[in-house]
């Protein structure tokens, strides 16, 4: 064999070896190593679950569910998932459209009794993608958390804050919890049920989310993680507020396995049909890639462009992420009960786990 041939063979063997070591799917140990590093070095406390090609390849729990009592997080710990609730509400709305109960292009005045004429241009669709221009209670109340400390009913809350749009509906998108609080009322009128029951009947039950539910003032769910946040040196317990007062914008608690069940049910068509799923994942780049209840971005993973649906939820120390590949069956779930306000540890962890999930 000539020297040139030997060099070519060595180069080929090195290339094959490198490919086999670095370009293979991530192992369970690699997911555990990445998440464990975040727990050790960046105080991550919570649960992660990774699905690749429709199969759970890693799940792990870190830190304390109740720091005061020393109770550890487990894979079945329940978390306040806050605005992840909005994605489930969007699915509920699309299911009601399939059943002929409402249309996304209906004016919300069809469902809101005595609504002012200035709201006739606001469509149900505008609530779903935050393009309604409706007033934001968090910009009205001081401090903003005061908007979630009252004991108002849904009807009273909507009546108190409902007002003329601040811009032409559909022309711009600005995040506003009140959009989904108003949507809660629209769903009640369209379905003839409480919004909680409609969400349960159309999403939670058919998806098999048996460990998830909605906060009430009466009881604290068992196995619920206690939130802490940091805005400087030490950790602080979450301040008092009524999570129920978020209504359909963020009153949901869930486990990571339940969110994986929701993901699987959505992909399998058990919650909404193919046309509704396309609506759910249709993002507008001119409006910041917003879609109904989620954002759908093109991301570069493993050297190729991948469309990823992301839904975040955050209220004080609780931070949740549900990231789903649009054209495949890869999903990353990150649920945390210790959130650093100065650095988004959970988002960084999600990005590293996504990179592993998409590695070929």
Beta strand spans in the chain (E) = 46-52, 55-62, 64-66, 71-72, 79-80, 213-214, 228-230, 235-237, 252-254, 290-291, 294-301, 304-315, 318-325, 331-336, 338-340
Residue 307, Cβ density class (10 Å: 0-12 exposed, 13-18 middle, ≥19 buried):
middle
Q: Residue 114's pLDDT is what?
A: 86
Domain ranges of the chain: 27-106+191-357
CB 270 within 8 A of CB 206: yes
Nearest to 62 by CA among 354, 337, 360, 347: 337
Q: Is 269 left (phi over 0), alpha (psi -120 to 50) or beta?
A: left
Q: Confidence band (pLDDT; 50, 70, 90) for 218?
A: confident
pLDDT in tens, 43-78: 999 999 999 999 999 999 999 999 999 999 999 999
Q: Residue 85's pLDDT is what?
A: 98
pLDDT in tens, 119-150: 999 999 999 999 999 999 999 998 888 888 88
Q: Is the pLDDT of residue 18 over 70?
A: no
* pTM for this predicted structure: 0.92
Nearest to 252 by CA among 301, 306, 199, 307: 199
SS3 call for 302: coil
- The fourth-level CATH superfamily of domain 27-106+191-357 is DD-peptidase/beta-lactamase superfamily (3.40.710.10)
Q: Residue 23's pLDDT is what?
A: 55
According to DSSP, residue 232 is labeled S
Nearest to 187 by CA among 85, 68, 63: 85
CA distance 19 to 25: 11
pLDDT in tens, 255-309: 999 999 999 999 999 999 999 999 999 999 999 999 999 999 999 999 999 999 9
How many of the other CB atoms lie within 10 Å of CB of 298?
Answer: 12
Q: Confidence band (pLDDT; 50, 70, 90) for 4?
A: very low
Q: Is the pLDDT of residue 167 over 90?
A: yes
**Mean pLDDT over the full length of the chain:** 92
Backbone angles phi, psi at 212, to 5 degrees: -115, 160
Q: Residue 15's pLDDT is what?
A: 34
CB 231 within 8 A of CB 341: yes
């Amino acid at each position: 064999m000539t020297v040139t041939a030997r060099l070519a063979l060595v180069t080929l063997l090195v290339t094959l070896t490198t490919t086999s070591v670095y370009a293979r799917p991530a192992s369970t140990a690699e997911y555990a190593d990445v998440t464990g590093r975040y727990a050790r070095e960046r105080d991550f406390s919570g649960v992660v679950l990774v699905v690749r090609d429709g199969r759970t390849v890693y799940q792990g729990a870190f830190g304390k569910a109740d720091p005061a009592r020393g109770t550890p997080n487990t894979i079945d710990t329940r978390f306040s998932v806050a605005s992840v609730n909005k994605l489930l509400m969007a699915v509920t709305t699309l299911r009601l459209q399939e059943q002929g109960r409402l249309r996304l292009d209906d004016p919300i005045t069809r469902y809101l009794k005595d609504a002012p004429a200035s709201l006739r241009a606001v469509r149900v669709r505008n609530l779903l993608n935050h393009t309604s221009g409706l007033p934001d209670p968090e910009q009205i109340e001081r401090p903003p958390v005061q908007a979630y400390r009252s004991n108002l009913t849904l009807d009273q809350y909507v009546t108190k804050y409902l007002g003329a749009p601040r811009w032409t509906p559909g022309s711009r998108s600005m995040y506003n919890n009140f959009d989904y609080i108003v949507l809660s009322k629209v769903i009640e009128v369209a379905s003839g049920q409480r919004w909680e029951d409609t969400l349960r009947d159309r999403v939670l039950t058919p998806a098999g989310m048996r460990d998830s539910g909605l906060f009430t003032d009466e009881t604290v769910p068992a196995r619920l993680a206690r939130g802490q946040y940091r805005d400087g040196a030490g950790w602080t317990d979450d301040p008092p507020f009524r999570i129920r007062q978020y209504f359909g914008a963020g009153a949901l608690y869930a486990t990571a396995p339940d969110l994986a069940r929701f993901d699987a049910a959505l992909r399998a068509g058990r919650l909404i049909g193919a046309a509704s799923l396309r609506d759910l994942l249709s993002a507008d780049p001119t409006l910041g890639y917003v879609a109904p209840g989620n954002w759908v971005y093109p991301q570069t993973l493993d050297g190729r462009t991948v469309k990823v649906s992301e839904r975040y939820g955050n209220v004080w120390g609780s931070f949740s992420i549900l990231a789903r590949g649009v054209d495949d069956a890869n999903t990353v779930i990150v649920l945390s009960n210790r959130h650093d306000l100065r650095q988004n540890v959970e988002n960084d962890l999600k990005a590293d786990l996504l990179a592993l999930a998409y590695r070929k």
